[in-house]
Amino acid sequence: MNSISRRRLITGGIAATAGVAGLTAAARMARRYGLIAPDCKGVYGPGEELTYAVQRILTAGAPVRQFPRSMISKKPFANYVDPPTEAFKRLEAGGFKDWRLTIDGMVARPATLTLADVKSLGTQSEITEVACEEGWSYIAEWIGTPLVSVLREVGMLPQARYVVYSSFQRGVWDSIDMGDALDPHTLLTWGMNDGDLPVGFGGPLRIRLPRQLGYKSLKYIWHLTATDSLKNFGKGLGSAEPEFGYAWYAGI
């Protein structure tokens, strides 16, 4: 089921069970707790807000679905994408020794880290599923450094409400709220199934958000920005996706 029909179902389901009065109450609660998706004024307006709020309330603290090693997909499907840019190829030829992750915005100590620096902040491995909004999925072991460890290292300020992350692929960026940014399961991955993370799967550095659809797990991450508002990023919708009808929040 694609995310749009799933969203309709969820919103419809809530509306049917809760009735209009319940819906209004839920919307009021969403606003009160700041559970308002940055793209909620888009095409899918109020539904977006409710899906995000209801999922956030229902899934707070819920376990991430992990799988046994025996279920790792033998032939995971890499949805190959750019960037085979010259700059990227040069970095790859150098074994990504010159790859840098820049962290700025609402942090006490902005930093530019090498992959070795990132790895030195901690290693975690999780066997989770990448689920594409188009219906296919695969399971892999993802090895990386918890994003929260990197945010701690640079002293993220308490006012920060979102982390914006950008791909080396031109124009590709997204953002997450603190629920996901501070979640110990959100990883900056550099390994997959016991090896280095292949370029096809987003190497040298890919963010993995096991509680959201695959399109939030961007490949080739090179820039993180902590911010209290998404207004000044792109069209202010939290990522490029809502411009094409994809939800900013893609919880699964």
Ligand X SMILES: Nc1nc2c(c(=O)[nH]1)N[C@H]1C(S)=C(S)[C@@H](COP(=O)(O)O)O[C@H]1N2
Rounded to an integer, what is the distance from CA 75 to the centroid of its chain?
23
Give the closest residue to 150 by CA, choosing from 193, 191, 107, 96: 107
* 167 touches, from ligand X, Mo ion, none (C-beta below 5 to 8 Å by class): ligand X
Of positions 167, 175, 225, 239, contacts ligand X by CB under 6 A:
167
* 72 touches, from ligand X, Mo ion, none (C-beta below 5 to 8 Å by class): none
Number of residues forming the site for ligand X (CB under 6 A): 16
Binding string, residues 204-223; x marks residues near ligand X by CB under 6 A: ----------xx-xxxx---
* 162 touches, from Mo ion, ligand X, none (C-beta below 5 to 8 Å by class): none
Query: Is residue 73 at the binding interface for ligand X, with CB under 6 A as the rule?
Result: no
Binding string, residues 168-207; x marks residues near ligand X by CB under 6 A: -x--x----------------------------x------
Closer residue to ligand X (CB): 27 or 78: 78
187-192/137-146 β-pairing: antiparallel
CB of 21 to ligand X, least distance (A): 37
For residues 164 and 234, the answer to whether their CB atoms sit within 8 Å is no
Q: Which residue is at the shortest CB distance from ligand X?
A: 214
Closer residue to ligand X (CB): 55 or 167: 167
How far is residue 155's CA from residue 175's CA, in Å, rounded to a whole number? 19
How far is residue 130's CA from residue 212's CA, in Å, rounded to a whole number? 9
The position carrying tokens 């300020």 is 157
Considering only residues 166 through 225, tell me which ones interact with Mo ion, judged by CB under 5 A: 214-215
Considering only residues 76 through 95, tell me which ones interact with ligand X, judged by CB under 6 A: 77-79, 81
How far is residue 219's CA from residue 217's CA, in Å, rounded to a whole number? 7
Tell me which residues touch Mo ion (CB under 5 A).
132, 214-215
Q: Which residues here bind ligand X, judged by CB under 6 A?
A: 77-79, 81, 130, 132, 167, 169, 172, 201, 214-215, 217-220
